[in-house]
């Protein structure tokens, strides 16, 4: 029974981490690149407006950052729950 609770807490933490990463990525790619683009058009970065930058490059860079964050956090989570690779 204790092993079932351990697995349940591990998967709960995993799903929570995935949900947070997806929410951040959706906010950056859809929110900043599409929905909030008119509000961000007055701010320039790299010779273009910030909304366009998020749509073309920013969401990709945030996605790559989230991949590295997820891998790092999952390694910590695996260690905490005793399912890490040796």
Q: Please enumerate, as own/partner, the contacts of 53-61 that have beta carbons within 8 Å and a separation of 24 or more.
A: 54/28, 54/29, 55/29, 58/28, 58/32, 58/33, 59/25, 59/28, 59/29, 59/32, 59/33
Q: Which two tokens stand for residue 28?
A: 């950056």
pLDDT tens, residue by residue, 27-83: 998 888 888 888 888 888 878 888 888 888 888 999 999 999 999 999 999 998 888
Q: Which residues, listed in sequence order, are joined to residue 48 by a DSSP beta bridge? A: 45
pTM score? 0.79
pLDDT number for residue 41: 84
Q: Which of 2-6, 22-26, 31-35, 70-74 has the lowest mean pLDDT?
A: 2-6
């Amino acid at each position: 029974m204790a092993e079932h609770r351990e697995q349940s807490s591990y998967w709960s933490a995993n799903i929570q981490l995935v949900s947070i990463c997806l929410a951040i990525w959706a906010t950056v790619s859809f929110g900043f690149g599409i929905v909030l683009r008119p509000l961000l058009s007055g701010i320039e970065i790299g010779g273009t407006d910030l909304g366009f930058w998020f749509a073309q490059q920013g969401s990709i860079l945030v996605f790559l950052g989230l991949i590295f964050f997820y891998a790092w956090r999952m390694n910590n989570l695996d260690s905490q729950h005793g399912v890490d690779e040796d």
